[in-house]
Amino acid sequence: MEVLYSSTRNGERKVTASQAILKGLSDDGGLFVPDHIPTLECSMRDLMEKSYQETAYEVMKLFLTDFTQDELMTCIERAYDSKFDTEAVAPLVEAEGTYYLELFHGATIAFKDMALSILPHLMTTAARKNHVENEIVILTATSGDTGKAALAGFAGVEGTRIIVFYPKDGVSPIQEKQMLTQKGNNTFVVGIRGNFDDAQTGVKALFNDKELGERMANAGMQFSSANSINIGRLVPQVVYYVYAYAKLLKEGRIRDGEKINVAVPTGNFGNILAAFYAKNMGVPIGRLICASNENKVLYDFFVTGRYDRNREFMLTSSPSMDILISSNLERLIYRIAGNDAKINADLMKSLSEAGSYDITEQMKEQLADFYGNYADEKETAKRIKEMYENTGYILDTHTAVASAVYRKYVKETKDTSVTVIASTASPFKFTRSVMNAIDTKYNAMSDFELVDELSKIGNVAVPNAIEEIRTAPILHDTVCDKTEMKAVVERFLGIAAQS
Ligand SMILES: *Cc1c(COP(=O)(O)O)cnc(C)c1O
């Protein structure tokens, strides 16, 4: 059955999957959502024997119904190839009786690679299908990991350019170096003096800037988004939850139909929303454990039904979760409002004007599948140290937040169902925080000394992504204020207004 997409803020106009991917964000500022969540056609027993690529096809074909079999298979083959350093693509690792779904085996060693390896292929295919001749300009705000993963995905892709904005003082040194050393003459990286929310708000404003859009169209260009607001990011993320369940079944860790819980370190709410979609496709998932760091706006929301971004923005050791406006939550709000775009649009208006909104009791009842909690900086560091001492396994800071929250969940609920924790980054990406958590004596070492030490004590090879940037030259040095983002974009695109 065909799946069409409409905006969370206006249910009237429906577009195909390829059109939704091309546009990224709807003109009314809303996010594209599928008109229904399709049900898995394959049984888990069949999926059990499938490779990651085959599973990806089984899942994605149900959402991207206007892509031909050939188109989708080609996208999948090009995405999930030797860029991943393991054939499993997303291996499950057991530690302390819980399963860590390692989503960091791609080119930039964070889970963003799972979707951003395929998005450029989906997007260029979508452009071809819709006879779009314009050059696609990818405009992206990053809290650290999306930026590099999107740059790696789009670098050198014909017919595209990519511009990435990141908070100058809000990413780890390794994350920053990864971005600033990006090759490819269609890539552009800009640090902004502000935080991630400033970058994301600025990017959304550029998307909605009609005058800029017109000048771009005249120059043969159009914007699209590689942020997790793009449905082409969300759909590939559903795959690994289906895959993880099938692999647990294959390995005899669960019975067919047995419910598992999923814990996800959360920022923009894309990853956990994908798990929710997987559940709605029929994967036996019980609770969705939403883990936040000290920016615990989501925890407060699940407890009180009030979303309130009016609070201090905290810089933490898990920077990819330092977010106060969780964009993808809008897709869930729309759903619990009974797919009512008007109700959702009003709430989002209140969020942008007053910085907060309240959901009704009836909407709140529909959140029973979710459990929210958070871990502070001390708890996160303690979790890394404990895990290392208990098992030798080294967690990155984001995964450690989820691991700490999962322990709170078990303590509170006594629910000991088999649990999968989404492991969203390699510890090599956040070496200083990780090593300091294990022992403060490491504080004196340089970033790359820490890399080698981590490899030694964790008995894991240094990933290619890190080796590559050790000596790579810095190729980007633009820094701007948040008010200058438009001018910077115009300059890069060569379409500055005549004055
Ligand atoms: C992006 C990111 C997250 C947050 O994922 P969302 O989909 O934005 O909730 C968590 N951990 C890491 C390492 C990330 O890069």
Residue with the two structure tokens 């057991």:
94
Point out which residues pair with 480 in neighbouring strands: 192
286 pLDDT higher than 80 = yes
Write down the pLDDT at residue 229: 87
For residue 69, report the distance from its CA to the centre of ligand 1, in Å. Answer: 30
Query: CATH number, domain at 409?
Result: 3.40.50.1100
pLDDT tens digit string along 82-118? 999 999 999 999 999 999 999 999 999 999 999 999 9
499 pLDDT higher than 80 = no
**Is residue 158 domain-resident?**
no
**Domain residues for 415?**
92-109+232-463
For residue 370, report the distance from its CA to the centre of ligand 1, in Å. Answer: 17
166 pLDDT higher than 90 = yes
144 pLDDT higher than 90 = no
Report CA torsion sign: 304, 276, 427, 400: positive
Mean pLDDT (the chain) is 95
369 pLDDT higher than 80 = yes
122 pLDDT higher than 80 = yes
- Angle at CA 485, nearest 5°, toward 136 and 224? 20
Quickly count: other Cβ atoms within 10 Å of residue 490's Cβ: 16
Number of domain units in the chain: 1
Indicate the top mutation candidate among 111, 113, 324 to test ligand 1's pocket, ranked by most ligand atoms within 8 A of CB. Answer: 111
What is the average pLDDT across 320-327? 92
Enter the DSSP assignment of 78: H
398 touches 321 (CB < 8 A): yes
Sheet bearing 135-141, strands edge to edge: 221-224, 135-141, 160-167, 187-193, 478-481
Report the percentage of the chain scoring pLDDT > 90. Answer: 91
> What are 344's two structure tokens?
């959702």
**Is residue 236 domain-resident?**
yes
Write down the pLDDT at residue 186: 95
In which band, very low, low, confident or very high, does the pLDDT at 498 lie, cut at 50, 70 and 90? low
Report CA torsion sign: 284, 286, 292, 296: positive
Indicate the top mutation candidate among 142, 151, 229, 268 to test ligand 1's pocket, ranked by most ligand atoms within 8 A of CB. Answer: 268
- Residue 272's closest CA among 306, 238, 321, 308? 238
Q: Which residues make Cβ contacts (< 8 Å) with residue 136, sequence separation at least 6?
A: 22, 123, 124, 127, 159, 160, 161, 221, 222, 223, 224
**Is residue 245 domain-resident?**
yes
Write down the pLDDT at residue 27: 87
492 pLDDT higher than 70 = yes
**Is residue 87 domain-resident?**
no
What is the average pLDDT across 280-309? 98
In which band, very low, low, confident or very high, does the pLDDT at 204 lie, cut at 50, 70 and 90? confident
**Is residue 353 domain-resident?**
yes
What is the average pLDDT across 403-430? 97
Point out which residues pair with 17 in neighbouring strands: none
366 pLDDT higher than 60 = yes
End-to-end C-alpha distance for the chain, whole angstroms? 52
Which H or E run contains 370? Answer: strand 370-374
**Is residue 343 domain-resident?**
yes
**Is residue 196 domain-resident?**
no
**Is residue 439 domain-resident?**
yes
